[in-house]
């Protein structure tokens, strides 16, 4: 029960920590010896999980290539950003807080920036923001599942304790009844012993009386036999 309580407490704390504002910022990265302007956000989750989810997200826009940690979508179709195909270059880096997701959208003649194409930038920014939010939601949903499992275990443990308590109450009642039965048996046994002792004393008296009667009969038989011997 204590372990389950600790888990639930830790779960509530982790949810409160993750309920934070997602910030997407313009940033540059040197990729394949080319400085590219894009945007990034920090997601405070396991970097491997974030990268896996981000690669899955990018596959929605086209075929992805992964090389030396760089994820590229050479021909990307992102209708929210542009009606024409573009090129996506992205990197997911691990850091002390979790993971930094960065991506740049190359329109062919320039990268999407606030100053160059603010509308496209805002759309790309929203996509990255929504992705981060979805990562947090997925993580919290997993935590909710774990919490529900812990809750179910807690309910089962409580039910088990209740059943054990009910059985203990029944055992106490049975023990009391057994004691009453045993005390009655002891009383009955004492009365039976007293009666047996009386029966033994009576039997001894009856044995003595029977012995006396036997002796009398022996003498009577001898008298009769003497009469028989007295006949000439």
Cα–Cα distance list, 124 to 9, 81, 89, 101, 130 (Å): 37, 6, 13, 13, 10
Average pLDDT, the chain: 87
- What is the phi/psi pair of residue 190, to 5°? -65, -40
Tell me yes or no: is domain 2-12+20-145 CATH 3.40.50.
Answer: no
Q: Phi-psi bin for 111: left (phi > 0), alpha (psi -120 to 50), beta? A: beta
111: DSSP letter: B
Helix axes 118-229, 47-58, angle to 10 degrees: 120
- What is the phi/psi pair of residue 68, to 5°? 55, 40
Q: Given a cut of 70, is residue 3 above it in pLDDT?
A: no
Q: Given a cut of 60, is residue 72 above it in pLDDT?
A: yes
What percent of the chain shows pLDDT beyond 90? 56
Interacting residues of 120 by C-beta distance below 8 A, sequence separation 6+ = 81, 82, 105, 107, 112
d(CA 88, CA 116) in angstroms, rounded, equals 17
d(CA 46, CA 93) in angstroms, rounded, equals 11
Region 123-136: mean pLDDT is 96
pTM exceeds 0.75: no
- pLDDT confidence of residue 60: 96
Task: Please state which of the ranges 10-14, 95-99, 100-104 shows the lowest mean pLDDT.
Answer: 10-14
pLDDT per position as a tens digit, 137-146: 999 999 899 8
Tokens, residue 13: 């704390």
d(CA 105, CA 117) in angstroms, rounded, equals 11
d(CA 187, CA 135) in angstroms, rounded, equals 77
Residue by residue, DSSP assigns 165-200 as HHHHHHHHHHHHHHHHHHHHHHHHHHHHHHHHHHHH
Q: Where are the domains of the chain?
A: 2-12+20-145
Region 219-228: mean pLDDT is 76
């Amino acid at each position: 029960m204590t372990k389950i309580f600790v888990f639930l407490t830790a779960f509530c704390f982790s949810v409160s920590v993750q309920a934070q504002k997602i910030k997407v910022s313009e940033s540059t990265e040197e990729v394949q010896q080319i400085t590219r302007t894009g945007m990034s956000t920090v997601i405070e989750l396991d970097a491997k999980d974030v990268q896996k989810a981000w690669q899955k997200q990018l596959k929605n826009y086209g075929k992805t290539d992964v090389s030396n940690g760089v994820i590229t979508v050479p021909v990307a179709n992102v209708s929210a950003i542009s009606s024409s195909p573009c090129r996506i270059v992205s990197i997911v880096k691990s850091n002390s807080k979790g993971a930094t997701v960065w991506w740049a959208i190359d329109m062919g003649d320039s990268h999407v920036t606030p100053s160059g194409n603010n509308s496209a930038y805002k759309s790309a920014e929203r996509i990255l923001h929504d992705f981060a939010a979805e990562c947090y939601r997925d993580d919290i949903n997993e935590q909710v599942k774990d919490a529900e499992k812990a809750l179910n275990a807690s309910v089962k443990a409580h039910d088990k304790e209740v059943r054990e308590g009910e059985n203990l109450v029944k055992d106490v009642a049975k023990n009391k009844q057994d004691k009453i039965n045993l005390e009655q048996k002891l009383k009955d046994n004492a009365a039976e012993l007293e009666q047996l002792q009386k029966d033994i004393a009576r039997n001894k008296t009856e044995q003595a009386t029977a012995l006396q009667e036997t002796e009398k009969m022996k003498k009577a038989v001898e008298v009769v036999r003497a009469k028989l011997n007295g006949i000439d």
